[in-house]
Each structure stands twice: as C-alpha cells, then as structure tokens.
Amino acid sequence: MAATEPIRDKKALSRLAGYWLNKDNFRNYTLIVLGVCTMLRPCDLLSLTWSDVYDFERGVFRSHVALTEKKTGKQKVIALNSQAKEALGLFFPHRRGVFIFFGKLGSDKAISRTQAWRIVRAAAGETGETGRVALYSLRKTAGYHAYKSGVSPVLLMTVFNHSSFEVTKRYLGVTQDELDSVYLSAALF
C-alpha cells in the first residue's frame, strides 16, 4: 500500500472540501475541515463527540478540544480555529447523536475509518486530485502547509508526536519536494 501524501495545492484542498459543501453534506465537509484544522489522527478525529467541541450549558463552541490520543495515550489540547468552528456551526443543526461523525441513522456509533476513507477518496476523485490522497492526507496537509509557511519544525514534531524532524519531514513529503527541487533546477543548458 502506498503512503498517502499531503495536498500541496491550497486550491485543490478547497475544492476537496467544497465538493461536499456543494452537495449540502455538512458531515463530510466538516470531516475534511476538522481533519485538516485539528491535525488529529483518524482514530482520534472520528471519536470526537459534540460535547468535545460544544459547551451545551453555555450554548457556544469550545475554544479548545482536550483529548487523550489513542495511539500514544498522551493528553492533547487543540485550539479550534475559526474555520473549524464555522464548519461545525454549519453541521450542528443536523447533528444526530453523540458523535460528530455519526454512522447510520439510529446508530450510536461513529463512522468507520473505511467510511471516512471513502468520503475523502470520493471527493478527491470527483475534484480531479490525482495524488495519493486519503484520510491521513488531511493531517499531513495541515502540517505540510504549516512547515512551508515557516512554522518551527520543533512545533510540528510536537503536534505529530514524532521522535525526530527527519520522521516529520518524511511524513509531510517535504523530503521528496526538496529532492524534486534539486532535479528541476539541474538544467545545464
């Protein structure tokens, strides 16, 4: 199985999310937006509940999500940016049950990783995204663009819980981008 890649073109990312928004499928749109904005692993993203992101007593979206990562067991606090809150706000009136990314009607379970993968792949196929785009691409995309915009590699290592920057660079596909730039600039004539 080939490794997934980040979506390097921001317009392509916008088309990917917009595909579901144009179909009034707010759950799938929110999946893509939160996948990018929170940089969570798929297992953690899919397990988010409405009470994780919404304070029902005060009637407002939370500024941060606090969770324990399933893979590492580490506590993580993630700020919800305005784009994440906007997507959640669009979807909030259509919520069903406890999980944000609910499964079948009448079910109290979240969608499976396979179903989430299908959602991302369907949008990628329909929008002409030809790279190896899948569910993990959402997490990688945010990190890739953060790195390219100058975010400290140490911060990205912390966000992803990687042991070294070399691991993070491979994860984000930065190493291949750097190699490509060498080849593309090697014109002698």
In CATH, what number is assigned to the domain containing residue 88?
1.10.443.10
Higher pLDDT, 177 or 76: 76
Question: Virtual CA dihedral for 112, 115, 117, 119, nearest 10 degrees?
Answer: -140
Domain that holds residue 129: 10-184
> Strand (E) positions, the chain?
54-55, 60-61, 64-68, 75-79
Q: Is 1 within the bounds of a domain?
A: no
Q: Is residue 3 part of a domain?
A: no
Structural domains of the chain, count:
1
Report if residue 78 sits inside a domain.
yes
Task: Please indicate, yes or no, if residue 69 is contained in any of the structural domains.
Answer: yes
Q: Is residue 113 part of a domain?
A: yes
Is position 119 within any domain? yes
Gap between the Cα atoms of 9 and 53, Å rounded: 28
Q: What is the pLDDT of residues 81-137, one digit of tens each?
A: 999 999 999 999 999 889 999 987 666 899 999 999 999 999 999 999 988 999 999
Distance CA 25, CA 51 (A): 21
Does the structure show a pLDDT above 50 at 1?
Answer: no
